[in-house]
């Protein structure tokens, strides 16, 4: 398992901006993430310094090259989980490996809205959860369902086996999109994947079952939401970082409530613009540099 001083989750404007600062300051820097949403066919004509319109794709590519020029290691890997290390620091699991880090910068955007499952709000905190490591203890040996279709959902389902053998994935009407190796691991573990949407939740006072559109009724004393890919908010849940609604709470230096964890970009709320994300990334990078020099200097 390789180690780094600063691990940045998210390869968008905020993450790459932070990487430019930390790498340029001589900190070993690893950036993990795929193409951000702005990488698509976006035309940007309000970003400072660009007289002509630039595409989001070109802006991100320029940012990657700049961060790499200063020594940042940028890898296209999906982060599946972040946990506090047993001996301090942080442990990060991706779809391709595991890493140790002294500090974390969360820059993977904001979590998506809750799934459109009738009555889900009434069961949040009463069986519906967004964090396996937070709430897995409470569903020991009970039947649980994971809602999601991708590798994030598959990984959450496999993690739940540490608490209960009775785990089912429900893709809410979508086709499963996890890779073959995860599909094989799920099959070997006896975790079934059902594609029918959830039409109703029931139980009193807590969740007891989930009804599907095809008529199936699943015993479910836990429903863990793991839609699409994991976001900064998902990692904040696991790390115990203070949040305000769907956003991560930070101070003016982009420090979170957990020492060694910083956040920048859309996941912090506010004015969701590229220019703001770049500025917040710079602040997060600067704060991480100061913290690392004291707590985790290069060996």
| CA 193 – CA 145 distance, rounded (Å) | 10
Residues 31 and 60 in one domain: yes
Q: Which of 225, 243, 261 is the last residue of a domain?
A: 225
Q: What is the mean pLDDT of the chain?
A: 94
- Sign of the CA dihedral running 62, 63, 68, 70: positive
Task: Provide the CATH number for the domain around residue 10.
Answer: 3.50.50.60
Decide if pLDDT at 27 tops 90. Answer: yes
Beta bridge partners of 193: 169
Q: What's 96's DSSP letter?
A: S
Residues 103 and 86 in one domain: yes
The residue behind tokens 């970003």 is: 47
- Sign of the CA dihedral running 200, 133, 98, 267: positive
Decide if pLDDT at 105 tops 70. Answer: yes
Asked if 212 and 170 count as a contact pair (C-beta separation under 8 A), the reply is yes
Residues 45 and 63 in one domain: yes
Residues 79 and 178 in one domain: no
Name the percent of the chain lying above pLDDT 70: 99
| CA 154 – CA 204 distance, rounded (Å) | 28
Q: What's the pLDDT score for residue 91?
A: 97
The residue behind tokens 């200097």 is: 297
Residues near 9 by beta carbon (within 8 Å), at least 6 away in sequence: 15, 32, 33, 79, 82, 92, 104, 105, 106, 107, 108, 232, 235
Q: Which of 225, 260, 284 is the last residue of a domain?
A: 225
Least confident of 92-101, 109-118, 195-204, 220-229: 109-118
Q: What's the pLDDT score for residue 133?
A: 86
Q: Name the residue among 15, 81, 122, 114 with its Cα closest to residue 237.
A: 81
Residues 51 and 20 in one domain: yes
Q: What's the pLDDT score for residue 241?
A: 96
27, 42, 91, 94, 146 from 81: Cα distances, Å: 23, 29, 8, 7, 15
Token pair of 170, please? Answer: 């429900």
The neighbour count for residue 25, using CB atoms within 10 Å, is 18
Residues near 230 by beta carbon (within 8 Å), at least 6 away in sequence: 78, 79, 80, 81, 108, 152
Token pair of 16, please? Answer: 């790459």
Q: What's 57's DSSP letter?
A: H
Give 6 or 133, the one with higher predicted confidence. Answer: 6
Q: Name the residue among 1, 64, 7, 13 with its Cα closest to residue 31.
A: 7
> CB-hemisphere CA count at 13 Å for 25?
22
Q: What's the pLDDT score for residue 112?
A: 61
pTM, entire model? 0.88
Residues 159 and 218 in one domain: yes
Residues 56 and 24 in one domain: yes
Helix (H, G, I), strand (E, B) or coil at 101: strand
Q: Which of 192, 225, 258 is the last residue of a domain?
A: 225
Residues 37 and 169 in one domain: no
Give 38 or 98, the one with higher predicted confidence. Answer: 98
Residues 45 and 175 in one domain: no
Residues 30 and 76 in one domain: yes
Decide if pLDDT at 243 tops 80. Answer: yes
Residues 29 and 63 in one domain: yes
Beta bridge partners of 88: 86
Q: What's the pLDDT score for residue 172?
A: 96
Measure the N-to-C terminal CA separation of the chain; round to a whole number of Å: 17
- pLDDT band for position 48 (50/70/90)? very high
Helix (H, G, I), strand (E, B) or coil at 295: helix
- pLDDT band for position 272 (50/70/90)? confident
Number of domains in the chain: 2
Residues 15 and 97 in one domain: yes
Query: What residues make up the domain containing 63?
Result: 2-111+231-295
- pLDDT band for position 111 (50/70/90)? confident
């Amino acid at each position: 398992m390789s180690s780094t001083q600063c691990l940045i989750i998210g390869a968008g404007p905020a993450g790459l901006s932070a990487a430019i600062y930390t790498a340029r300051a001589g900190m070993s820097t690893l950036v993990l993430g795929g193409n951000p949403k702005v990488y698509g066919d976006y035309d940007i004509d309000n970003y400072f310094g660009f007289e002509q319109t630039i595409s989001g794709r070109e802006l991100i590519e320029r940012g990657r090259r700049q961060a790499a020029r200063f020594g940042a290691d940028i890898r296209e890997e999906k982060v599946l989980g972040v946990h506090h290390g047993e001996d301090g620091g942080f442990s990060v699991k991706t779809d391709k490996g595991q890493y140790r880090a002294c500090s974390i910068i969360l820059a993977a955007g904001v979590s998506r809205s809750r799934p459109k499952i009738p009555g889900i709000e009434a069961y949040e905190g009463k069986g519906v959860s967004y964090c396996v490591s937070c709430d897995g203890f409470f569903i020991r040996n009970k039947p649980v369902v994971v809602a999601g279709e991708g590798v994030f959902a598959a990984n959450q389902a496999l993690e739940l086996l540490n608490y209960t053998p009775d785990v089912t994935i429900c893709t809410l009407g979508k086709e499963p999109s996890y890779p073959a190796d995860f599909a094989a691991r799920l099959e070997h573990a006896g975790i079934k994947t059902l594609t029918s949407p959830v039409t109703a939740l029931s139980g009193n006072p807590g969740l007891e079952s989930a009804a599907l559109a095809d008529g199936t009724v699943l015993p479910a004393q836990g429903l863990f939401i793991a839609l699409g890919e994991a976001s900064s908010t998902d990692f904040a849940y696991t790390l115990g970082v203070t949040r305000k609604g769907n956003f991560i709470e930070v101070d003016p230096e982009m420090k979170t409530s957990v020492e060694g964890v910083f956040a920048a970009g859309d996941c912090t709320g506010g004015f969701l613009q590229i220019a703001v994300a770049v500025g917040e990334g710079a602040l997060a990078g600067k704060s991480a540099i100061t913290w690392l020099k004291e707590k985790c200097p290069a060996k």
